[in-house]
Structure 1
Amino acid sequence: MTTSEYTLTERLNRIPVLTKRHKIWGAIIAGLLVFEMADLNAFAYVAPTLRAQWGLSVDVVALISASAFLGMSLGAVVGGILADRFGRKRLLVWGTVFYSVLSILSATSTGPMQLAAYRFFIGAGLYAVTVAALAYVAEMFPRNHRGKVQSLLLAVALLGIPLMSWLSRWVVPMGDNGWRWVFVAGGSGLIVALVASRLLPESVRWIEQHPGVAVDARSADIVDAIERQSVRITGAELPAPVTAQAVPAGTARDLVRSGYLKRAVVMSLTLAFATSAFYGYNSWMPILLTEHGFSTGSSLTYTSILAVAACPGALLAFLFIERVERRTAIMVIYLLTAVLLVVFGTTDSNVVFAVSGVAISLLLYCNTAVIYTYIPEIFPTQLRALGTGIPSSVGRLATVVCMFAIGAILGQLGFTSVFVFLAAASGLAAVTIGVFGERTKGRTLEDISAINGVSTRTVRRRLAGRRADPACPERDMNSNAAPRPVLRK
């Protein structure tokens, strides 16, 4: 077979290196995610000031925090459906425009209920963008590099947290309205959205699943360019494409059938526990420290130091993410995090307090990079965004409950009990993914998407046997699958 007789997806699967085009796309996505991360954490840095200005109780702070996570839960599902239906690029661009405009409007808030409403819709837009970005990276970057790419993108994106933290440290004390500029800054993603609309192509895998929705010729040109750049970088011809197993077009109902049900349930439970630990620690830290005796200024300074650990934490994943099975890495990191959370909440030593706090931040963000790589790998193209969105939605719903639970635990049982609670959540996430998670290391997306124990390699072997048998006509082993499209130059 000539190269033109293979699908674009099969040709993408053989790309061994990151090309110039990959780097441009990665830079654009990282730019989008920088402002997403900044906006996501904006309220945490102004919460102590608003609590004093508006006379907010801990429960009202929890309500405003929870509203954003409730919005993320909605955005994860709706965004997943829209990204699977209309494309990854459209959700990346218009989702960013949506939450950026609302962030700017948040600066006009005059009370907690108005701000909570804005934070709800901002959360929806934020996580619609996240789901689309995760699907895009999984589909458009080489399989032996997508973990490293995801960790690097997250590391760059996480720069938005210390940037927002230090911006808050600067503008909030400037006056009664200083906090409003924090939300205005969160709307700067509009600039990157404009760049993305012009330079970011649609996912080739998504286009092959939706013929007629986009121009196939442009997708073929993109793959041709990537192949030429790969040859120049490696100095050798690319290996021949390998025929991938045909995966039937999916619907939402496919998530509750066969192997996809288990994957959705396992990841939903994992993220329910994991995001509770992650956001319980990060979103509540300024309030927890002030309740523990820190001044507002000292609390913001300490959380700014913790925020600096975010970027190195994601880069930490870069060192091992392509060498270690992802589910194993996630399990081990969450177990270590659980131990450190207990240490952080019980120690009387300032040194141990500071070191364990920074270590927790490093591990939480390191694991975020691994999970961001892992989830979109385990669902097929037609269900990738929705399959990523549903567990994420469950995780955010659990975080809503967690916001109120932490408020109640802090009020009734105190500082230490909050961290025992967070440690238990982290430990349960570790056990769930470690025991029931799917293996993904080094496999193509189509191979991982295979269910019922039938792998791509098995199908190819069976097809080869049938071709060798003249009494048996050549046909697709998956009789329910639509014929594989052939794109010719």
Structure 2
Amino acid sequence: MPLGKFHFQMFFYTGGGAFIDGYIIGIIAVALAVLQPQFDMSLTVVGMIAMAMYVGMFFGGILGGYLTDLIGRKKMFILDLSIFVIASIPQYFVTDPMQLVILRFILGFAAGADYPISATYMAEFAPSKHRGALLGGLIALWYVGYGMSFLVGYWMLALGEDSWRWMLASSAIPAIIILLARIKMPESPLWLASKGKEKGANAIIQGIFGKDVVLSESFEAKEKTSFMDMFKNGYGKWTLFIALFWTLQVAPAFAIATFIPEVLGQLGFADGNKEYLGSTIMSLFYLVGLIPAVYLVEKIGRRPVLIWPFLVSAIILVILGITSSWQMSFTYSITLFVIYGIFNTSMNIHQWIYPNELFPTKIRGTAVGFGTGMSRIGASLSTFLFPMILANYGLEMTLYVCAGLFFAGFLISLVMAPETRNMTLEQTSALNKSNDKLSNKPDSKTGII
């Protein structure tokens, strides 16, 4: 089907979870700066609060992805957003840091579950020629949420000592709005067909696109969802690739994002709330990276839009590390962080593209959830260790460590990343069955490698 109004509607409904995820991750960065002196928290406790969400995302991704394939996309949509609402509000009333750790874990569980739900839903409705842009574009709403959190947090600083309570509880507002919107969403026709309900699947399709439209993908009746299928029949190499590149993207990026006010403070911008203003400016400019990325991923392919941003991100952090003690200007530091963020954002779109394209419908959500979970192990460790490395070894060494992780991602992607541009989901999920070596030159007519 051609790109239409329904696809854009689904884009915003599915991307709502990414918005909340970005908002929750961003708001804690501002809230921690206000919260830490009040509770006199050690670096270990600060690290636990920062990493709790990512630990929750590990369990949420693994379990949520499997349940998405087992019981359906829509049921998980409703359950997931309900958890967001229920866990957001009590953050206002916490009296002990460990209470906040528990609530952040629950929020992380919901965020981790939302990745496979949202991504698989969008992939299964998206036209082949626009699938990469639609899936990759979902990350834009993550950055909108992340940037919005700094604006809200910066504004709420004026509320005084309890401002952090309002900041953290404010995530309930977008969660309620998106929950109400998602109630109207239909079930995924591809999921229904994979469970032997092809008649119901075609009824949904015809209700949306017209009576002459039917499923184009063939299914074996009632395809069984098995968690271990990710590691069988040639899918193991894609499971490994997704876990590696996703982890090496988010581990340094989330650590920097969570503690960016502290990083800017160590660069000499701790006076007059400049570190918060700088964080807001940077997060808003990060969206710029999506504009060329969602275009190029369909124009030149998936591989180059993943490989080279890994390398550029590593180089920029090395430069920032070298000049970290030179007392450079605010404009210089922000400019480099903006360039880093633009390239980092452009490669992040693959978190939504590759996992959905390389696996069949019956295990698509399971695979996305597994990738989400594995990547959050790296994110949780990096956010836990980041403040300790920063305190014990300084900003320069911390930036070098982050750069090293990005460079490792560059090497792995150079070797393992396939090209899936212009292919249907049937074709991309069958790449593991081909004996041909992967090439980044798809056939000009079919896009098949």
- The 1:287–1:56 alpha-carbon spacing in structure 2 relative to 1, beyond 3 Å, is farther
- The 1:290–1:51 alpha-carbon spacing in structure 2 relative to 1, beyond 3 Å, is farther
Q: Report which of the two structures shows the higher radius of gyration computed on alpha carbons.
A: 1
Q: What one-letter code is carried by the residue in structure 2 that aligns with 1:151?
A: G
Partner of 1:331: 307
Q: What one-letter code is carried by the residue in structure 2 that aligns with 1:385?
A: G
Partner of 2:37: 52
Aligned to 1:135, what secondary structure does the other structure show? helix
Q: Deviations over 1:266-311 (max 9, x none)?
A: 1112222211121122112122223444326121111111111232
Contact 1:312 1:362 in 2 (8 A): yes
- The 1:127–1:242 alpha-carbon spacing in structure 2 relative to 1, beyond 3 Å, is closer
Using the TM superposition, give the Cα deviation of residue 101 of structure 1 relative to its aligned residue in structure 2, in angstroms. Answer: 1.5
Contact 1:263 1:438 in 2 (8 A): no
- Separation (CA, whole Å) in 2 of partners of 1:454 and 1:191: 48
Which residue among 150, 162, 179 is the counterpart of 1:165? Answer: 150
- The 1:291–1:332 alpha-carbon spacing in structure 2 relative to 1, beyond 3 Å, is same
Which residue among 254, 258, 276 is the counterpart of 1:283? Answer: 258
Using the TM superposition, give the Cα deviation of residue 352 of structure 1 relative to its aligned residue in structure 2, in angstroms. Answer: 3.2
Contact 1:342 1:423 in 2 (8 A): yes
- Separation (CA, whole Å) in 1 of partners of 2:82 and 2:391: 38
Aligned to 1:26, what secondary structure does the other structure show? helix
- The 1:291–1:54 alpha-carbon spacing in structure 2 relative to 1, beyond 3 Å, is farther
- The 1:241–1:31 alpha-carbon spacing in structure 2 relative to 1, beyond 3 Å, is closer
Structure 2: gaps of 5 or more residues: 437-449
- Separation (CA, whole Å) in 2 of partners of 1:104 and 1:441: 42
Partner of 2:202: 220
- Separation (CA, whole Å) in 1 of partners of 2:308 and 2:109: 31
Q: What one-letter code is carried by the residue in structure 1 that aligns with 2:429?
A: S
Using the TM superposition, give the Cα deviation of residue 403 of structure 1 relative to its aligned residue in structure 2, in angstroms. Answer: 2.1
- Separation (CA, whole Å) in 1 of partners of 2:142 and 2:207: 27
Aligned to 1:176, what secondary structure does the other structure show? coil
- Separation (CA, whole Å) in 1 of partners of 2:387 and 2:206: 55
Q: What one-letter code is carried by the residue in structure 2 that aligns with 1:264?
A: T
Partner of 1:474: none
Which residue among 293, 308, 321 is the counterpart of 2:284? Answer: 308
Q: What one-letter code is carried by the residue in structure 2 that aligns with 1:382?
A: K
Which residue among 443, 451, 457 is the counterpart of 2:423? Answer: 443
Partner of 1:85: 70
Partner of 1:483: none
Contact 2:250 2:379 in 1 (8 A): yes
TM score, norm. by length of structure 2:
0.89
Identity percentage over the alignment? Answer: 23
TM score, norm. by length of structure 1:
0.82
- The 1:257–1:156 alpha-carbon spacing in structure 2 relative to 1, beyond 3 Å, is closer
Contact 2:225 2:362 in 1 (8 A): yes
Aligned to 2:129, what secondary structure does the other structure show? coil
Q: What one-letter code is carried by the residue in structure 1 that aligns with 2:251?
A: S
Structure 1: gaps of 5 or more residues: 1-14, 232-237, 456-489
- Separation (CA, whole Å) in 1 of partners of 2:376 and 2:137: 24
- Separation (CA, whole Å) in 1 of partners of 2:253 and 2:434: 34
Which residue among 20, 26, 39 is the counterpart of 2:5? Answer: 20
Partner of 1:477: none
Using the TM superposition, give the Cα deviation of residue 174 of structure 1 relative to its aligned residue in structure 2, in angstroms. Answer: 1.5
Partner of 1:389: 369
> Does structure 1 residue 69 correspond to structure 2 residue 54?
yes
Partner of 1:263: 238
Q: What one-letter code is carried by the residue in structure 2 that aligns with 1:57?
A: S
Which residue among 125, 140, 150 is the counterpart of 1:140? Answer: 125
- The 1:379–1:154 alpha-carbon spacing in structure 2 relative to 1, beyond 3 Å, is same
- The 1:166–1:432 alpha-carbon spacing in structure 2 relative to 1, beyond 3 Å, is same
Partner of 1:419: 399
Partner of 2:332: 352
Q: Deviations over 1:81-122 (max 9, x none)?
A: 111111112222211110222011111111211101110111
Contact 1:40 1:123 in 2 (8 A): no
Which residue among 80, 102, 105 is the counterpart of 1:120? Answer: 105
Aligned to 1:122, what secondary structure does the other structure show? helix
Contact 1:99 1:125 in 2 (8 A): yes
Partner of 1:376: 356
- Separation (CA, whole Å) in 2 of partners of 1:390 and 1:272: 11
Q: What one-letter code is carried by the residue in structure 2 that aligns with 1:311?
A: L
Using the TM superposition, give the Cα deviation of residue 226 of structure 1 relative to its aligned residue in structure 2, in angstroms. Answer: 5.0
Contact 2:82 2:179 in 1 (8 A): yes
- Separation (CA, whole Å) in 2 of partners of 1:255 and 1:95: 23
> Does structure 1 residue 111 correspond to structure 2 residue 92?
no
Q: Deviations over 1:240-264 (max 9, x none)?
A: 9866586964512212213111111
- The 1:20–1:365 alpha-carbon spacing in structure 2 relative to 1, beyond 3 Å, is same
Which residue among 388, 398, 408 is the counterpart of 2:388? Answer: 408
Aligned to 2:234, what secondary structure does the other structure show? helix
Contact 2:53 2:107 in 1 (8 A): yes
Which residue among 173, 192, 195 is the counterpart of 2:178? Answer: 192
> Does structure 1 residue 453 correspond to structure 2 residue 428?
no
Aligned to 2:259, what secondary structure does the other structure show? helix
Using the TM superposition, give the Cα deviation of residue 325 of structure 1 relative to its aligned residue in structure 2, in angstroms. Answer: 2.4
Contact 2:32 2:164 in 1 (8 A): no
Aligned to 1:413, what secondary structure does the other structure show? helix
Partner of 2:269: 294
Q: Deviations over 1:319-347 (max 9, x none)?
A: 21112221332111111111011112222
Partner of 1:150: 135
Q: What one-letter code is carried by the residue in structure 2 that aligns with 1:389?
A: G
